[in-house]
């Protein structure tokens, strides 16, 4: 049963800005329960729980929990398969960035995975 007293996913933007130094409201996320993928802003946010609870608009399962304590933030993403966060272009370019991720050396650039 889905409670209809929810806020939209934009309510997560401010609290998550404290955790991530990037704007996450434009991020896409995928529900681990039903596979629905869409913008974080489409999640249904319940603020009357301890912290914030964001549920999938498709199946109602919990995708994200955020509790802000005085000195810590607790972020539970176990209900999400991923968050895809838009970022400014990588200055080294996508090919070099992909090689860097898999640890292949890039000619002329130091490999950050090498000690």
Q: State in angstroms the smallest separation of the CB of 92 from Zn ion.
A: 36
CB nearer to Zn ion: pick between 31 and 53? 31
Residues 15-44 that bind Zn ion (CB under 5 A): 31, 33-34, 36
How far is 83 from 70, CA to CA, in rounded Å? 26
Q: Which of 41, 58, 75, 76 binds Zn ion (CB under 5 A)?
A: 58
CB nearer to Zn ion: pick between 29 and 31? 31
Sheet containing 37-39: order of strands:
37-39, 28-31, 80-84
How far is 76 from 65, CA to CA, in rounded Å? 5
Q: Which residues bind Zn ion (CB under 5 A)?
A: 31, 33-34, 36, 56, 58-59
């Amino acid at each position: 049963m889905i409670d209809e007293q929810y806020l939209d996913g934009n309510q997560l933007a401010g609290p998550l800005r404290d955790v991530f130094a990037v704007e996450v409201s434009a991020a896409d996320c995928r529900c681990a329960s039903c596979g629905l993928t869409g913008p974080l802003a489409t999640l249904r946010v319940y603020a009357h729980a301890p912290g914030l609870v964001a549920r999938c608009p498709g199946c109602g399962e919990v995708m994200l929990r955020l509790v802000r304590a005085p000195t810590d933030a607790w972020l539970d993403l176990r209900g999400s398969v991923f968050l895809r966060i838009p970022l400014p272009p990588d200055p080294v370019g996508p090919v070099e960035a992909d090689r860097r991720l898999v640890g292949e050396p890039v000619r002329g650039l130091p490999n950050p995975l090498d000690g």
